[in-house]
């Protein structure tokens, strides 16, 4: 028994849900560390077929080298993006590059589960890509490297 505990850990915890809970926490931490070692992408929004934001995510700001916000939807202007500022946790995803996105196979929606997200803050941008959507337009993917201590799990 640990000095700060009033009761010893029960056999039920050690043999039942305890190892499952500890295993889940460990796998989440290891998964987060693996994400931190490789570049990942954060979706900043969508450009419609006319090249206009539709929508632009409010929690994501694209900044140039001087720290000014780039609000233009022009891909030429977005080449100046150096930093990504996040004001709310932003979901992390695999980078699709400029290849078309894969579509769902029509299966049922997945139950809510914890997924990795970047904490609010600033991240250096490694690159931008624009995977095309089947319905017209493109996503704006921002490639970043997120330190392990900046990754949180959110329900999605």
Q: How confident is the model at residue 96 (pLDDT cuts 50, 70, 90)?
A: confident
Sheet holding 151-155, edge to edge: 90-91, 114-118, 151-155
Show me where the domains of the chain are located.
Answer: 11-99+114-155
Would you say how long the chain is, in residues? 156
Q: How confident is the model at residue 86 (pLDDT cuts 50, 70, 90)?
A: very high
pLDDT at 75: 87
Can you tell me the distance from the alpha carbon of 112 to that of 22, in angstroms, rounded to the nearest whole number?
20
| 44-71: burial string, b at 16+ Cβ within 10 Å, e else | bbbbeeeeeeeebbeebbbbeeeeeebe
Residue 33 has pLDDT above 70, yes or no: no
Can you tell me the distance from the alpha carbon of 148 to that of 47, in angstroms, rounded to the nearest whole number?
30
Q: Which two tokens stand for residue 127?
A: 């690159």
Q: How confident is the model at residue 32 (pLDDT cuts 50, 70, 90)?
A: very low
Residue range 109-147, pLDDT digits in tens: 778 899 999 999 999 999 999 999 888 899 999 999 999
Residue range 39-58, pLDDT digits in tens: 999 999 999 999 999 999 99
Comparing CA positions, the residue from 141, 117, 156, 124 lying closest to residue 46 is 141
Residue range 1-29, pLDDT digits in tens: 343 334 444 444 444 444 444 444 444 54
The separation between CA 117 and the C-alpha centre of its own chain, rounded to angstroms, equals 4
């Amino acid at each position: 028994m640990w000095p700060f505990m009033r009761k010893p850990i029960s056999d039920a915890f050690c043999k039942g849900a305890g190892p499952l809970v500890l295993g889940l926490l460990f796998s989440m931490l290891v998964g987060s560390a693996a994400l931190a070692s490789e570049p990942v992408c954060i979706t900043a929004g969508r450009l419609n077929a006319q090249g206009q934001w539709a929508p632009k995510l409010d929690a994501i700001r694209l900044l140039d080298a001087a720290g000014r916000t780039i609000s233009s939807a022009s891909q030429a202007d977005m080449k100046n993006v150096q930093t990504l500022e996040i004001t709310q946790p932003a979901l992390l995803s695999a980078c699709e590059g400029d290849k078309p996105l894969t579509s769902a196979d029509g299966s049922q929606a997945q139950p809510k589960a914890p997924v990795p997200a970047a904490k609010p803050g600033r991240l250096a941008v490694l690159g931008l890509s624009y995977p095309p959507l089947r319905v017209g337009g493109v996503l704006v993917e921002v490639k970043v490297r997120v330190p392990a201590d900046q990754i949180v799990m959110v329900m999605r």
